[in-house]
Amino acid sequence: MPVCHTGGRGFEPRQPRLNPPRGTTHPAPPATAGGAFVFFGRALTPTYHVPVLADAVRDWTTGGCRIVDATVGGGGHAALFRELGAEVLAVDRDPDAIAAARAALGDTGIRYSTGPFGSAKVLGTIETFRPDRILLDLGVSSYQLDTDLRGFTFRPGAPLDMRMAAGHGVTAADILNTWPEARLAGAFAELADEPRARRLARAVVKRRATAPFATSDDLVNAIREARGPRSGPSDFARLFQALRIVVNQELEQLELALPALRATLVPGGRMAVITYHSGEDRIVKHAFRDWSRSCVCPPRQPVCTCRGRPLGRLLTRKPIRPAAAEVRDNPRARSAQLRAFEVGDG
């Protein structure tokens, strides 16, 4: 069962293990049947709009009247909010996602804004909306994963693109073809926990000297060269995800946007973030923890010079994770974690 947003190590759960000889490309898996929804001519399954952690999000939504879905994707969470009677502001940096959500949800009780959730334009729209709930679901939509031309997948022949806003900014191929070896190794090590990061970076630099990286096959074969022929989908998933995070500057955007989004909430408003990567979760955890403290001055500082009061309270001491039944139905949701925070009344 596909889901609206995915991430973590759930990139391609059903991708078969493929081990071609070095220098060859991997064969394409069979196509799957379509479903009831149509998105720009592509058939989608009827469950395309099933959101991750729906029960936890529904509980967090209780009492909300004006809710921002800051990463609307296919519109699953936004549909849930509207069913609960809330007015919704749907945001996404991907124009295709906004078009999909509008086609599925219409314009009654919901408005739309295209752009990164941390951009000045979108933040201004959110501030004017005066939300009492903001949700960030930081994964990649099933449409993006399942549309090869978007380049998020490691299926054979997919272009190395990975841009959330199609046609804008550098591509994954640009990074693989231009970054120095040390910088590539750092990204693979820090964002993919890759133990052979230096070896993989060397393989990339060596291979691009012969022919530039252009498709998923190029990166998959570099991974196999560095990790050996037994490397498989789980290795491809975390390394492709790391490259996607770099392409879209996802961690930098998240760190800058969180306090700005908090500032748009009305007193007593709530923010929830669903993460799929340890780097994302670390940023959210530290932000929410610091906001809930009375003092954030450096240790042993004799006089408090910070705000001297908490900005609100944690609603989740530990992250909420999907139940076994949801993971069984939705393998792409298995790395999801939800954390929530409530701003103070003052």
pLDDT value of position 345: 83
Report the alpha-carbon distance of residue 266 to residue 270 in Å, rounded: 9
Question: Which has more confidence, 26 or 176?
Answer: 176
The residue segments making up the domain with residue 178 are 165-247
Question: Using an 8 Å Cβ cutoff, are 206 and 213 in contact?
Answer: no
- pLDDT band of residue 312 (cuts 50, 70, 90) is very high
Q: How many helices (H) and strands (E) does the chain have?
A: 13, 11
Residue 277 maps to a domain: yes
Name the least confident of 10-24, 92-106, 137-151, 201-215: 10-24
Nearest to 69 by CA among 102, 36, 44: 102
Nearest to 16 by CA among 36, 30, 6, 4: 30
Report the alpha-carbon distance of residue 345 to residue 268 in Å, rounded: 5
Name the least confident of 83-92, 158-167, 203-212, 257-266: 158-167
Residue 35 maps to a domain: no
Same-domain status, 227 and 178: yes
Amino acid at position 167, single letter: G
Which of residues 212, 247, 282 is at a domain's end? 247
Record the tokens describing residue 322, joined without a space. Answer: 């999907």
Residue 11 maps to a domain: no
Residue 9 maps to a domain: no
Residue 193 maps to a domain: yes
Mean pLDDT of the 40-63 span: 68
Same-domain status, 64 and 96: yes
Same-domain status, 171 and 135: no
Mean pLDDT of the 325-330 span: 90
CATH number for the domain including 338?
A: 3.40.50.150
pLDDT value of position 302: 79
Same-domain status, 277 and 132: yes
Which residues face 114 on adjacent strands? Answer: 92
Residues of the chain above pLDDT 90, percent = 65
Which of residues 247, 267, 286 is at a domain's end? 247
pLDDT tens for each residue of 231-270: 988 899 899 999 999 998 999 999 999 999 999 999 999 9
pLDDT value of position 128: 97
pLDDT value of position 295: 79
- Tally of CA atoms within 13 A in the half-sphere of 313 that contains its CB: 5
Record the tokens describing residue 214, joined without a space. Answer: 């252009």
Report the alpha-carbon distance of residue 67 to residue 73 in Å, rounded: 15
Same-domain status, 138 and 79: yes
pLDDT value of position 141: 60
Which of residues 195, 221, 247 is at a domain's end? 247
Same-domain status, 174 and 321: no
> Does residue 330 have a pLDDT over 50?
yes
Same-domain status, 303 and 173: no
Same-domain status, 263 and 199: no
Residue 226 maps to a domain: yes
Count the domains in the chain: 2
CATH number for the domain including 207?
A: 1.10.150.170
Mean pLDDT of the 259-283 span: 96
Same-domain status, 88 and 211: no
Question: Using an 8 Å Cβ cutoff, are 277 and 7 in contact?
Answer: yes
Residue 134 maps to a domain: yes
Same-domain status, 256 and 322: yes
Same-domain status, 219 and 198: yes
Report the alpha-carbon distance of residue 314 to residue 288 in Å, rounded: 7
> Does residue 9 have a pLDDT over 50?
no
Same-domain status, 124 and 64: yes
CB burial of 311-327 (b: ≥16 within 10 Å; e: otherwise) equals bbebbbeebbbbeeebb
Residues of the chain above pLDDT 70, percent = 81
Residue 113 maps to a domain: yes
> Does residue 48 have a pLDDT over 60?
no
Mean pLDDT of the 316-324 span: 95
pLDDT tens for each residue of 218-242: 999 999 999 998 898 889 989 999 9
